[in-house]
Amino acid sequence: MDKENRISTPDKIIVLTNSIREVPSNDLRNQLISFINDLINEDFNALVQLLYRVDVNEKKLKELLKENENADAPVIIADLIITRQLQKIESKKQFSQRKKSDAEDSW
């Protein structure tokens, strides 16, 4: 059994999500959608835990799923995960800039 098959689907999603540094390619997005679809069908509890781990807003997810009843749930979830990852990256940039600015102002 190769190493990739030993990695759980939630961990594959985390690795994939952590590789995002900018708006991802369609290939990466489609891979994420596929992994999420697998979790929906095979281990829904793992998906819920993953969404907490990635810090996807539960209220927003429920609203989007309700508003888009005919849309594919994995697509909505993948886009929320991507959006959240991009938000984290932006927050880190802003924090590091503020920290750098604070350091310049200190002795």
pLDDT of 58-104, one tens digit each?
Answer: 999 999 999 999 999 999 999 999 999 999 998 888 877 776 666 66
Domain span including residue 18: 3-105
CA angle, residues 44, 46, 51, in degrees to nearest 5: 95
Query: What is the reported pLDDT for 104?
Result: 62
Assess contact for 73 and 47: CB atoms under 8 A: no
- Cβ atoms of 75 and 30 within 8 Å: the answer is no
The rounded Cα 30 to chain-centroid distance in angstroms is 13
Domain count, the chain: 1
0.85 surpassed by pTM? no
Q: What is the pLDDT of residues 16-68, one digit of tens each?
A: 888 888 888 899 999 999 999 999 999 999 999 999 999 999 999 999 999 99
> What pLDDT shows up at residue 7?
85
Q: Say what the pLDDT of residue 18 is.
A: 85
pLDDT value, residue 101: 63
pLDDT of residue 1: 45
Task: Give the chain's largest Cα–Cα span.
Answer: 59
**Residue 44 Cα to chain centre, angstroms:** 16
- Hey, what's the torsion of the CAs at 40, 46, 51, 55, to 10 degrees? -170
